[in-house]
A = this chain, B = another copy of it.
């Protein structure tokens, strides 16, 4: 690229899948991206655009000639166009994209955009394959052979009634393996289910994963067919949600990506660090209540981070398991008390093991059996509280309608820090003087 060798670049990119080209664009620097786009004789097609990280799409769209954008957009299914437009901050680009669409697609995209963000209506594509439910296999095949515009990928023929309401669906495999005179209604799949356009994408992704769906119809408030959602959309959502949980548990903004610029990273990380500062100051206030005894027994200052750190870690363990179980709906009202009891007991048992270890450390290092007892008791208390808070806090947040992954970390470590310092220093004040 540095040598501006067009032939070499073409040879390199030619055999690659759009997703891989998008990855390359994401990994090079902004200046290199400009050079690559200008130099490459192939063009950035619709597929590359949809695979590209959202934070880079505007930059790449800006670098492209208008006719390339128009052509790229026309190749896409309407759901991908919706995905493209909804993530653009730049209105001019959105208008240009809409202008490139034919009337039917533009209408479908506008309609999809009228549904709330993160809804099934935004995920679906307009391109569907339908057949009246009274048709036979032969009629369906003849229809498909003569149909002008079929979606690039489809897995089911959706059966509709005269009012365009989907009543079932048939897999292509069944159509191909059944004799021509069989009515379609006889080979319907049991697994048929539809989504409302207003259902949340989380709902949709959960159902695809839980019931191993490949595609599903989306209907409007009158149960009329609007479009279909396919497995690739569901995978994208599942992926995004797992990613969100991972990042949020670590206090990283869920929108952050590896291609963000430095200042974006600073801005996205700041809020959580600020929350952490507040909670850390809270813990410091607890410590400051015991300044007197720390001056007398400086070993307390040496050992207290251990108690806090163990509590924080045990709390994070319980928390992570609970947040994921909530996300995958494995933790429900039916088993929440059993899980909380389990975590508390597990915390108690591990607490006792580490209490023994730490008591030994206290005795050997500082030669004070009583200090050992204080550490041991504080350790058990803190690990039990860690188990309780680790499960209890996300469950309460979920009930309150707050994403448990988002806020639990700060709460749980605050609880374990405060309880840990208070138990350790408080017991020291009681027993060591």
Contacts and interface: CB of A to CB of B under 8 A. Distances in A.
B309 A280 contact: yes
Contacts of A249: 246, 249-250, 320
B153 A171 contact: yes
Contacts of A175: 172, 176
Interface in A311-359: 313-314, 316-317, 319-321, 324-325, 329-332, 334-335, 338-339, 342-343, 345-346, 349-350, 353-354, 357-358
Contacts of A256: 321
A305 interface: yes
Contacts of A361: 281
A339 B294 contact: no
Contact of A320 (B247, B259, B295): B247
Given A242-B239, A295-B298, A329-B23, A305 B287 contact: yes
B147 A177 contact: yes
A346 B314 contact: no
Contacts of A231: 214, 231, 235
B23 A313 contact: no
B306 A277 contact: yes
Contacts of A252: 317, 320-321
Contact of A246 (B17, B210, B276, B320): B320
Given A17-B211, A246-B246, A265-B342, A177 B153 contact: no
A238 interface: yes
Interface stretch (A68-76, A100-108, A266-274, A396-404): A266-274
Given A305-B287, A317-B272, A350 B246 contact: no
Q: What is the total number of copies of this protein in its complex?
A: 2
Contacts of A345: 262
A100 to B, nearest CB: 23
Given A251-B316, A350-B266, A330 B26 contact: yes
B257 A350 contact: no
A321 B258 contact: yes
A261 B353 CA distance: 18
A128 B29 CA distance: 44
Interface string A390-415: 00000000000000000000000100
Contacts of A250: 249, 316-317, 319-321
B298 A211 contact: no
Contact of A306 (B281, B304, B421): B281
A355 to B, nearest CB: 11
Given A29-B338, A305-B417, A291 B298 contact: yes
A279 B353 CA distance: 17
B303 A284 contact: yes
Given A23-B329, A265-B346, A281-B361, 13 more contacts: A17-B211, A27-B332, A28-B335, A29-B338, A144-B177, A250-B320, A257-B330, A262-B342, A262-B346, A270-B350, A273-B314, A277-B354, A300-B301
15 contacts: A19-B210, A141-B141, A144-B173, A247-B324, A258-B335, A258-B339, A260-B342, A262-B346, A262-B349, A269-B317, A269-B350, A272-B317, A280-B309, A287-B305, A291-B301
Pairs of residues from A and B, 4 with the lowest C-beta to C-beta distance, nearest first: A250-B320, A172-B172, A242-B242, A301-B301
